[in-house]
């Protein structure tokens, strides 16, 4: 029988942390994710395909040429010698070319191809912004999980000291067994929290590794003292105004409207004539035929104009125009909807960052107050005016405040990136500012 030993989670985590590794900055991990993340690679390849598709539309207004070759042999045999022709045939080659001179629908299609380039660029920009936010989210999730684990371990040490103190006081008769049991219960609770925090850190690291393609991603922590960059500009209307030209969603909607307008032009071109310049040159080499044994060559060159005027198409063109006009109005409504949605998302993100900054300040004050309260409670416990549970409660409040403060700081830093994503101005350069807040 095979026996398996389960390695405790804390030992596995300690072993992972013991491996030599160099901490990476946010920009370092972002660059790794650009070359590894499947979603971004898919968006990048789609961008390249869209560029090629856009170029295809230009073919409708460019000249075209073709080469045709033909070879045939015949053999005529007869028991009448006069009719026994034998083998003969011909070889022919024709080069033909055409150049559209007046084709309004083709011109509109070529313009649509140009618009597709702008649409593809906007789609790639949106994918890049999404990758920046996803990497930053995973990065700060790891830092927050690590901070939470450190705070839980610090709380465990503090509760352990309080438990030892309660046991000593009970042994000398200066406290009751209740103090010891309360401290033991709190210690057991913190142990459970430590196991959960260790697991959460491992899960967050796995998520970051999967996103960046690394097996040992180790984010740099925030430098101490922590400084949160000021949110500029401080006017939400300026952020909304920037989105009009920068946001990829609005750009896609605007391009969609322009493409719809060109589609209407193509539909109206169904009533218009077309004119093409055509030309060909053909050579045929014969070594006889069914009626002659003479070898001869034929050269034929042609050039001309091909004119076509639609007269009646069963009302198909009129109804196509109605369809494209309706779709044009739909695209115009989509553009207005995109503007409103972006403006709302930008305002929500802006006020979220502002609220987060206020929470950070409030939690910093709460941390200082909680530390003072714990010091006072410990002193009161030593002189006998406070009981053991008061100290334990003060410790819990302090470490809970520390955890919430650390999380609030990460939320503000990430919220600033999400604000720029909301108004469409997010670029990889914005991560350089966050790198400045990280430890060297």
State how far the Cα of 429 lies from the Cα of 439, in Å rounded to an integer.
18
Roughly what angle, to the nearest 10 degrees, separates helices 388-423 and 236-246?
40
> What local confidence, expressed as pLDDT, does residue 79 receive?
65
* For range 259-285, the mean pLDDT: 94
Query: Given this model, what pLDDT does residue 80 score?
Result: 63
Q: Above 70 in pLDDT, residue 357?
A: yes
Mean pLDDT in residue range 49-70: 92
Given this model, what pLDDT does residue 12 score? 43
Is a pLDDT exceeding 80 seen at residue 19? no
Structure-token pair, residue 48: 């390249």
Least trusted range by pLDDT, from 96-110, 204-218, 289-303: 289-303
Between residues 2 and 168, the one the model is more confident about: 168
Distance CA 187, CA 197 (A): 15
- Least confident interval from 8-17, 96-105, 294-303, 330-339: 8-17
Residue 70: strand pairing partners = 92
What is the rounded average pLDDT for all residues in the chain? 89
d(CA 166, CA 185): 12
pLDDT at 10 > cutoff 50: no
Residues 6+ apart with CB under 8 A from 23: 218, 219, 220, 221, 439
Distance separating alpha carbons of residues 364 and 367, to the nearest angstrom: 5
Q: Is the pLDDT of residue 2 over 50?
A: no
How confident is the model over 429-434, as a mean pLDDT?
88
Domains of the chain by start residue, with CATH: 9-34+104-271+315-435 (1.20.1600.10)
Query: Per-residue pLDDT averaged across 181-204, rounded?
Result: 94
pLDDT, tens digit, 9 for 90 and up, residues 118-169 = 999 999 999 999 999 999 999 999 999 999 999 999 999 999 988 898 888 8
Asked if residue 4 has pLDDT above 50, the reply is no
**Res 309 pLDDT > 90:** yes
Q: Is 304 exposed, middle or buried (0-12, 13-18, 19+ CB in 10 A)?
A: exposed
pLDDT at 77: 66
Task: Note the pLDDT of residue 203.
Answer: 96
């Amino acid at each position: 029988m095979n026996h398996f030993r389960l390695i405790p989670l804390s030992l596995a985590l300690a072993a992972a942390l013991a491996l030599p590794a160099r901490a990476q900055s946010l920009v370092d991990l972002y660059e790794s994710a650009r070359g590894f993340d499947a979603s971004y690679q898919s968006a990048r390849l789609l961008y390249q395909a869209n560029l090629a598709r856009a170029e295809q539309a230009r073919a409708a207004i460019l000249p075209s040429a073709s080469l045709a070759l033909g070879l045939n042999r015949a053999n005529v045999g007869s028991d009448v010698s006069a009719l026994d022709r034998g083998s003969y045939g011909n070889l022919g080659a024709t080069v033909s070319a055409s150049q559209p001179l007046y084709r309004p629908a083709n011109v509109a299609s070529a313009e649509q191809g140009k618009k597709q380039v702008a649409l593809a660029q906007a789609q790639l920009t949106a994918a890049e912004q999404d990758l920046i936010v996803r990497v930053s989210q995973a990065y700060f999730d790891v830092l927050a999980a690590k901070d939470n684990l450190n705070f839980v371990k610090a709380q465990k040490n503090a509760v352990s000291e309080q438990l030892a103190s309660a046991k000593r006081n009970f042994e000398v008769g200066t406290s009751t067994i209740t103090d010891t049991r309360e401290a033991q219960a709190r210690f057991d609770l913190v142990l459970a929290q430590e196991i959960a925090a260790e697991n959460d850190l491992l899960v967050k690291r796995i998520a970051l590794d999967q996103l960046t393609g690394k097996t040992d991603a180790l984010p740099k922590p925030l430098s101490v003292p922590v400084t949160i960059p000021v949110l500029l500009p401080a006017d939400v209307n300026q952020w909304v105004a920037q989105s009009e030209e920068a946001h990829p969603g609005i750009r896609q909607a605007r391009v969609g409207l322009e493409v719809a307008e060109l589609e209407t032009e193509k539909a109206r071109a169904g009533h218009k004539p077309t004119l093409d310049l055509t030309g060909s040159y053909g050579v045929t080499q014969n070594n006889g035929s069914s009626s002659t044994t003479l070898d001869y060559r034929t050269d034929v060159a042609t050039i001309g104009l091909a004119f076509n005027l639609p007269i009646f198409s069963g009302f198909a063109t009129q109804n196509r125009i109605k369809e494209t006009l309706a779709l044009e109005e739909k695209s115009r409504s989509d553009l207005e909807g995109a503007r409103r949605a972006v403006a709302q998302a930008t305002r929500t993100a802006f006020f979220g960052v502002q609220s987060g900054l206020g929470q950070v300040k409030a939690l910093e004050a709460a941390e200082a107050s909680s530390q003072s309260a714990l010091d006072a409670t410990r002193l009161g416990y030593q002189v006998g005016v406070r009981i053991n549970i008061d100290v334990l409660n003060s410790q819990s409040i302090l470490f809970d405040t520390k955890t919430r403060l650390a999380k609030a700081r990460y939320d503000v830093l990430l919220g600033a990136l999400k604000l720029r994503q909301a108004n469409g101005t997010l670029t990889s350069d914005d991560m350089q500012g966050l790198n400045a807040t990280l430890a060297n």
